Chain A
Amino acid sequence: MLVYPQLGTGALSQFPVRKQHRTRTVANRAADGSSIKLADPTGEITEWQLPYAELSDGELSALEEFFAAAEGTLQSFTFLDPIGNLLAWSGKLDNNVWAAEPLLAVAGGIGDPFGGTQAWRLTNRGAAAQDITQTIAAPGGYLYCLSAYVRSAQGVTVTLLIGNGRATRTATNQWTRFAFAWTGDAALSSTRFGLEIPAGSILDVFGLQVEPQGAPSAYKATTTGGVFEGARLADDALQVTTTGVNRHSCTVNIIQCKASLI
């Protein structure tokens, strides 16, 4: 599996990042100014421009190896949006993308930490721990950060799950954002993320987020998620400028077209 390299910091990119979404709408405009429009979902294109500065020799080498493996624009790969939340339907835990174990009840409309009602209540009615997870087509060997706001009147110990990595945190009756960073098995082409709560416990959850980096950024609610399969480098050349000893800069352009996946 071709994997876009993370930097030494665990991040995929440096600021500034430019991201462009392009859709295609066919419009028939009548003489009276009205119009009939037709959406073309297969015409959707997403592009990123990732400028890098002050790269170390090792980081540049990883980028150059990736460029060679991709053979420029030829080979496709799965790209993880460096400024997005990788989870789909992050604010809708009853969506089919989420797998809740059978004795875990999931209810929405709970007050969230920002004054809304977008949080969810997880109630484990079983006699063993139960989890709610989402598996995404994200390479196993990346460094990921899973974060979530949690609250519990019972002082529940919640376990954050990334692949086979687990971290326990104790929720209080105040909303607290917990984060867990972990690198999984590089041989895997998908990774499972989620939360596990012990038997008989109740936990309020909001803002589940996964990012391909070592620490969380502000929560981003999603529907589609930030995993872009079938992405390609947009250029057949990688121009590198060496600005000093162990200091390099370059810009990588990446493009993903939905039509290429159909």
Chain B
Amino acid sequence: MHRWEIRLSELDESEMAAIEEFFEANQGAFGNFSFTDPWDGRVYPSCSLLGDTLDVQAVAEMRDSTSLTVMENRG
């Protein structure tokens, strides 16, 4: 079982909107998606977001930040 903690900062508004849309499309921890491990490029076909909360910080224009945890599903 794998888990990835993804911290994102210095995002522009378009990038942050894409993250928010992804979170909403998955309904938080409910949805399933495939995830490509950024370290080795291996694709994990069944993953979910770990939590039901997405915290968005807009510090200034083009300086948004958030964090997500992706978890590989079993079964």
Interface residues of A, Cβ cutoff 8 Å to B: 15-25, 27, 30, 32-35, 37-39, 41, 44, 83-85, 217-224
Whether the Cβ atoms of B56 and A19 lie closer than 8 Å is yes
A21-B23, A39-B27 known; A15+B61 contact, CB < 8 A: yes
Name the distance in Å between A86's Cβ and chain B's nearest Cβ.
12
**Cα(A217)–Cα(B13), bound, Å:** 8
**Cα(A83)–Cα(B56), bound, Å:** 10
Whether the Cβ atoms of A223 and B24 lie closer than 8 Å is yes
* Partner-contacting stretch, out of B2-10, B37-45, B47-55: B47-55
Classify the secondary structure of B's interface with A. mixed
A15-B59, A30-B75, A32-B74 known; A21+B14 contact, CB < 8 A: no
Contacts of A16 in B (CB 8 A): 57-60
Contacts of B24 in A (CB 8 A): 21, 223-224
Whether the Cβ atoms of B54 and A35 lie closer than 8 Å is no
**Cα(A34)–Cα(B46), bound, Å:** 12
Q: Which residue of A lies closest to B26 (CB)?
A: A23
Name the distance in Å between A36's Cβ and chain B's nearest Cβ.
9
Interface residues of B, Cβ cutoff 8 Å to A: 1, 12-14, 16-18, 20-21, 23-25, 27-31, 48, 52-62, 64, 73-75
Whether the Cβ atoms of B21 and A221 lie closer than 8 Å is yes
Q: Which residue of B lies closest to A223 (CB)?
A: B21
**Cα(A21)–Cα(B55), bound, Å:** 7
**Cα(A21)–Cα(B52), bound, Å:** 8
Whether the Cβ atoms of A221 and B28 lie closer than 8 Å is no
Q: List, sorted by A's number, 30 A–B pairs whose CB atoms are closer than 8 Å.
A: A15-B59, A16-B58, A16-B59, A17-B57, A17-B58, A18-B55, A18-B58, A19-B56, A21-B23, A21-B24, A21-B56, A22-B53, A22-B54, A23-B27, A23-B29, A23-B30, A25-B30, A25-B52, A27-B29, A39-B30, A83-B13, A83-B16, A83-B58, A84-B17, A85-B17, A220-B13, A220-B14, A220-B16, A221-B17, A221-B18
Contacts of A27 in B (CB 8 A): 29
Contacts of A22 in B (CB 8 A): 28, 52-54
Taking A84-B17, A218-B12, A218-B62 as known contacts, 15 extra A-B pairs with beta carbons closer than 8 A to each other, sorted by chain A number, are A19-B58, A20-B54, A23-B23, A23-B29, A23-B30, A23-B53, A32-B74, A35-B75, A37-B30, A37-B48, A38-B30, A39-B28, A83-B64, A223-B24, A224-B24
